[in-house]
Homo-oligomer: A and B are copies of this chain.
Amino acid sequence: MFAHNKRLQYTVRVSQTNPGLANLLLEQFGGPQGELAAATRYFTQALGELDPGRKDMLMDIATEELSHLEVIGTLVAMLNKGAKGRLAEAAEEEAEIYRSITGAGNDSHLTQLLYGGGPALTNSAGYLWTAGYIDTIGEPTADLRSNIAAEARAKIIYERLINATDDPGVKEALGFLMTREVAHQLSFEKALYAITPNFPPGKLPAMPEFERVYFDLSQDSEGEEDAPEGAWNSDENFTVVADREAQHAVDGGDGLAEVRLDREEQAAVEAAALRTRSDPDANPTTGAELGSLPE
């Protein structure tokens, strides 16, 4: 179970209120790469995990991400503290309040009007957090790769936020949070490679005849040079199939689809086809023609 200590993992010092910046920081509070997504991702994995060491790691890191959620949410609350009071107590003229909530050039109007300046579980555009951001599927050779990628993405968003603020206290706290994503990625990498083998992920083997094939499906027009080749599509690593005709029906069949229908199904399908047939021989007058200017 969880316990809470009133001290933050990292001290928050904000030099002045700034609802516009608060709104950008929501990206890491309630956004897809944010701390709620991180915490719930690892927490759900921990609950279903069979390996005790990995379960421990997942719960350690989930708990830290909850603590990060608290840090980033506290940054938002501090940056919005002035706006919260002014709007709630109507401490200014209406026109002044209108200007201040629409003047930040981003969606901070929403944060103020709807959430009263509190940290909201939305991204910086007001999109409500959704569990669609969580890609846990319950197989560690896939989930650990998802975690590695998630930490990489979160690191980048922090980097962009750091590039966009010059408040030293905010910058420093964001730097800490960014650094921890790097540390977590390191742990997840170790846990993944401590599973042997971990590739291909899961249990079923791939079909050998298609595992090392590269289909060159994006091409330039004939006679013109295509993109540079690299290890991802080189002959060294793959059989490259560039011929258009060889790219379809690669199983050697006719590339068509079929299903066996029983007699009643067959009759119903034929009835439906007949009823909804577009007669290829007709050239009917249409609604669009009725609605056009006479030619």
> Which residues of chain B come closer than 8 Å to A228, judged between CB atoms?
52-53, 56, 280
Q: Are B189 and A288 in contact (CB under 8 A)?
A: yes
Does the CB pair B155–A142 fall under 8 Å? yes
Which of the residues B109, B166, B237 comes within 8 Å of A124, measured between beta carbons?
B109
A235 to chain B, nearest CB (A): 11
Residues of chain B contacted by A264 (CB below 8 angstroms): 82, 86, 91-92
C-alpha gap A76/B259 in the complex (Å): 11
In the complex, are the beta carbons of B277 and A219 less than 8 A apart? no
- Total copies of the chain: 6
Please give the number of chain A residues whose Cβ is less than 8 angstroms from any Cβ of chain B in the complex: 233
A 245-267 contacts with B by CB, 8 A: 245, 247-251, 253-262, 264-265, 267
When chains A and B are docked, how far (Å) is the Cα of A92 from the Cα of B157?
A: 17
B4 touches A4 (CB 8 A): no
Question: Are A33 and B114 within 8 A (Cβ)?
Answer: yes
Bound Cα distance A191, B204 (Å): 25
What is the bound-complex CA distance between A270 and B50, given in angstroms?
A: 9
- Is there an interface contact between A292 and B138, defined as CB atoms closer than 8 Å? no
Tell me, in angstroms, the Cα distance from A134 to B98 when the chains sit together: 26
A13 to chain B, nearest CB (A): 6
B248 touches A9 (CB 8 A): yes
Known: A47-B118, A231-B190. A290 touches B287 (CB 8 A): yes
Q: Which residues of B contact A286 (CB under 8 A)?
A: 186, 189-190, 192-193, 287, 290
**Contact indicator B101/A102 (Cβ below 8 Å):** no
Known: A7-B255, A187-B238; 15 extra A-B contacts, CB below 8 A, are: A8-B257, A9-B255, A14-B259, A48-B80, A48-B119, A78-B258, A82-B261, A89-B275, A137-B156, A140-B276, A179-B207, A182-B206, A190-B284, A193-B286, A193-B291
